[in-house]
């Protein structure tokens, strides 16, 4: 299986594990945060095989700690029954205390939620990118679709013009 690498600035190479494509459609993301993940060995091996999904997952602040809930990481095939992990367990996230307090303050505002956007390896360490955003209304989703269609038409027109 070919591994897809995404280059991001000076930080080095990143190996993308999974994305949450519905997050951008359902939420207006205002702020992004990178957090480390506390994982078991079999979870890390399964992530390296890109056997994970963020569908239906969410993050929360519980007693001054960040947790990622309902993220599915498939059991590691060579792990055996005694050394494998529970696929949808809650996982602790690592972030600075002041970042967690800032997020907690923003989450108390009406309509804000903490959504996982993507999971990746950065310099060999598993990271999750969280987005702080508000839920979109149906009209907002229609506006986004309309804006994307207009951008696509403009790009097509520029391509024909250069032709």
Which domain range does residue 103 map to?
A: 5-135
CATH number of the domain residue 76 falls in? 2.40.280.10
Residue 155 domain-assigned (yes or no): no
Residue 104 domain-assigned (yes or no): yes
CA distances from 15 to 40, 43, 47, 51 (A): 19, 15, 10, 13
Task: Give the count of domains, the chain.
Answer: 1
Residue 161 domain-assigned (yes or no): no
Distance between CA atoms of residues 146 and 46, nearest Å: 38
Residue 102 domain-assigned (yes or no): yes
Residue 69 domain-assigned (yes or no): yes
- Give the pLDDT confidence of 74-107 residue by residue, as tens digits: 887 776 666 777 778 899 999 999 999 999 988 8
pLDDT at residue 13, rounded to an integer:
61
Residue 147 domain-assigned (yes or no): no
The segments of the chain whose pLDDT lies below 70 read 1-13, 79-82, 140, 162-163
pLDDT at residue 163, rounded to an integer:
56
Residue 151 domain-assigned (yes or no): no
pLDDT at residue 80, rounded to an integer:
65
Burial category of 137 from C-beta neighbours within 10 Å (exposed 0-12, middle 13-18, buried 19 and up) = exposed
Distance between CA atoms of residues 44 and 49, nearest Å: 9
């Amino acid at each position: 299986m070919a591994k897809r690498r995404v280059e991001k600035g000076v930080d080095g190479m990143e190996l993308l594990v999974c994305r949450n494509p519905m997050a951008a459609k359902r939420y207006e993301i205002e702020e992004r945060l990178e957090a480390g993940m506390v994982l078991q060995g079999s979870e890390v091996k399964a992530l390296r095989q890109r056997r994970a999904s963020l569908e239906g997952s969410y993050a929360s602040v519980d007693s001054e700690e960040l947790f990622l809930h309902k993220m599915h990481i498939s059991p590691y095939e060579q792990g055996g029954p005694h050394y494998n992990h529970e696929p949808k367990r809650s996982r602790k996230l690592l972030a600075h205390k002041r970042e967690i307090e800032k997020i907690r303050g923003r989450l108390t505002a009406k309509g804000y939620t903490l959504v996982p956007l993507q999971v990746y390896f950065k310099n060999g360490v598993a990271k999750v990118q969280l987005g702080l955003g508000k839920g979109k209304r149906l009209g907002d989703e229609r506006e986004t679709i309309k804006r994307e269609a207009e951008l696509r038409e403009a790009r097509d027109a520029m391509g024909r013009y250069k032709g």
